[in-house]
Amino acid sequence: MPDTTPDSSRPAGAPSPDALSRTLARHPRPLGGDPLKRVDAPILSLSNMVLNNAGESKQQLSLKKKPAWLRAKVPGGPGYTRLKSILSENKVYTVCEEANCPNMGECWSRGVATIMILGDTCTRSCGLCNVKTGRPAMLDKDEPSRVAESLHLMWQGAGLKHIVITSVNRDELSDGGAGIWAETIIRSREACPGMSIEVLIPDFEGNWPALQMVIDAKPHIINHNLETVRRMYPAVRPSAKFDRSVELLRRVKEQGGVAKTGIMVGIGEKDEEVLALMDEVQNGARTKKASGIGRQASGEQENTEDSADILTIGQYLQPTRNHLPIDRWVTPEQFVFFKEQGLARGFKVVESGALVRSSYHADHQADVLSEVGAERAKHAAR
């Protein structure tokens, strides 16, 4: 029989022991995953930074005022207007709009947009991300076809040149969603010949056969963001591993792919740690195999040593008061320094600036480093 005995020590509205047991039975794994089961011993303690919201007065972190240089242009122009109209008419939702990206106007004018697949609920809870965490909905196996149809409308009607496809983490799936990823890439290439496709993928929890499905689908750029320096992982990416992410980039390069990664600064890292990250990525992703996607386009010789191609660095902006606080505003001069150091350390393209995000100038990166230029010329000749 259920325990209905009143318990004066239990707060009003709190579940009974039986109710709690039933809930735990339905959810044996904490929603959003269990970071403590997935990471190494923490390098730093955040105990003295925890807010106390148990009392009457709630503690919140104050949002820092943005400096003068951190101002985005108001979206506009014929390219932006045309793409926005098609998106609205066909009820296509982009990450650009949902995240209120500061570069939306510029990117849309260039024919660049970002969409998200595999739902809107993530199985992880990163300290800098505003995507909701929880138990995702049932896998939508028709999504690849719908995405391809939507992209075709944008490509044909608004001159979409480059699409960035990203997703939430789906750790509850045996392949992490890789099957949907691969089919989406293949169908999108068929629907939009000459359009470059960049994928911003999760780490698939180190499931390398799942990653191989994505590589085999042949997107023009494979992006996996490190997000922050190694020391900050327990606070920023508690369910991820720095070395696992670097290994993912290495596997992309091993098969001749164009490998891209990105980080946000101003979240607690030090300048020397950013430089160390550049070295760790270049050394960890280095491979001797250089044949495959993008090598012919860039004119590189076969069998030369190669490593990660693209690095993006942008200013962290705190999404809400419940997310990790901004530690500092990185100056424009410092972003220039990061770009110079990234290029000197072997990255072929470095986009570094306060408003830089993963998709910033992504079409140009595809033109320079992949074979998409030849594909566009072939399609135009038909």
107 marked as part of a ligand binding site = yes
Query: How far lies 101's CA from each of 77, 89, 157, 185, in Å?
Result: 17, 21, 23, 24
192 marked as part of a ligand binding site = no
126 marked as part of a ligand binding site = yes
Distance CA 330, CA 265 (A): 7
125 marked as part of a ligand binding site = no
129 marked as part of a ligand binding site = yes
101 marked as part of a ligand binding site = yes
Please report, in range form, the residues annotated as the binding site.
96, 101, 107, 122, 126, 129, 359
Please report, in range form, the residues annotated as the binding site for [4Fe-4S] cluster.
96, 101, 107, 122, 126, 129, 359
